[in-house]
Amino acid sequence: MYIPKHFSVEEFVPELAYQERGEQAWELLDERMLITADQCREEFGPTFVNTWFSERLIAVYGRREWSGLRTLGYYQSVHDDDAFGLHKYLTSYSQHKYGRAFDALFRDTPADEARDYIRRHPKQFPYLTAMETGTSWFHGDVRNVRKLMEFTP
């Protein structure tokens, strides 16, 4: 099991998952994603995924709970109808659902600059296989594709 050098488990899982599993929540996350998050932190500086556990971070970056693992609770929180939320969860192929994706804010590096750097230095991030473009945050994931792909929401 890989434990990141620069992150706590709360930064990747929602509050309920942490309350239920504590440090065992690491088991829900793909180690390639965690390694990639550490590599991003080392290249782009302080990196923030979830902030729900810190009033100080919430004051600066807003309350972020669903930027790592997305459980059924995420889908029910964004839809008024719990049954529809369940349907969306069951039919979603989001890499977040499988613990293979993270959405990050870099304190010192705009997301577009980070994406440009990664395009120029893909070997520095060997497990990163997908990036979302056109967003103010950085989405990275480790889906099963051969070369770095980019997509727009």
pLDDT band at 74 (very low <50, low <70, confident <90, very high): confident
Does residue 92 have a pLDDT over 90? Answer: no
Report if residue 86 sits inside a domain: yes
Q: Is residue 3 part of a domain?
A: no
The 10s digit of each residue's pLDDT in 7-60 is: 999 999 999 999 999 999 999 999 999 999 999 999 999 999 999 999 999 999
Q: Which residue type occupies 149?
A: M
Helix axes 111-120, 31-44, angle to 10 degrees: 110
**CATH code of the domain in which 18 resides:** 3.30.1380
Q: Which residues fall within 8 angstroms of residue 91, CB to CB, at 6 or more apart?
A: none
> Domain tally for the chain?
1
Q: What is the mean pLDDT of residues 95-112?
A: 98
Residue 153 pLDDT class (50, 70, 90 cuts): confident
Residues paired with residue 104 on neighbouring β-strands, in sequence order: 138
Question: Does residue 4 sit within a domain?
Answer: no
